[in-house]
């Protein structure tokens, strides 16, 4: 059973889409970095950290942070038009360059809006933080199109 994706596993490949199964609990640094054609990425619901370089230089337009993620060290791609965080406790951001400075909305659980708006680094984009449309996330963490 796959539980780990190693460092640099898919770096600079033609990867276009990936669904990381829920039994994966660890993704290594730069696992999908420079996958310029990557437009869809669904992370494991059991992931706790999004490591440095994990998604840098991809073409994602929508990204969902799974509910159990506690730390984000990866700079999220500047191509993002929407960010969804399913975590009710804002994940720690290790650098203020992690959230793209492109005014994309950041959707979070309605019960956590104040926590995100007051959390370190998240507070710098407080005006972009909004409740998840429809009130939440049923289904998988692939984004709003997959929510019930």
- Which pTM value belongs to this model? 0.88
pLDDT digits (tens, 9 = 90+) for 24-48: 999 999 999 999 999 999 999 999 9
pLDDT digits (tens, 9 = 90+) for 57-108: 999 999 999 999 999 998 999 999 999 999 999 999 998 888 988 899 999 9
DSSP letters for the chain: ---EE-TTSSTTS---EEE--TT--EE-TTTTTT-TT--EEE--TT--EE-TTSSTT---SEEEE-TT--EE-SPPPTT-SEEEE--SSPPEESSTTSS-SS---EEE-GGGHHHHHHSTTGGGGGGGEEEPGGGS--S-SS-GGG--
């Amino acid at each position: 059973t796959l539980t780990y994706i190693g460092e640099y596993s898919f770096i600079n490949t033609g990867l276009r889409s990936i669904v990381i199964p829920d039994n994966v609990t660890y993704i290594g640094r730069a696992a999908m970095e420079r996958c310029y054609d990557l437009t869809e990425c669904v992370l494991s619901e059991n992931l706790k950290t999004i490591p440095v370089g994990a998604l840098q230089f991809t073409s994602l337009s929508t990204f969902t942070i799974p509910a159990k993620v506690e730390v984000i060290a990866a700079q999220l791609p500047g191509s993002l038009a929407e960010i969804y965080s399913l975590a009710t406790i804002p994940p720690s951001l290790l650098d203020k360059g992690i959230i793209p400075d492109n005014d994309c909305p950041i959707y979070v659980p309605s019960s956590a809006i104040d926590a995100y708006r007051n959390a370190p680094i998240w507070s710098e984009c407080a005006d972009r933080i909004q409740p998840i449309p429809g009130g939440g996330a049923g289904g998988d963490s692939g984004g709003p199109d997959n929510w019930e």
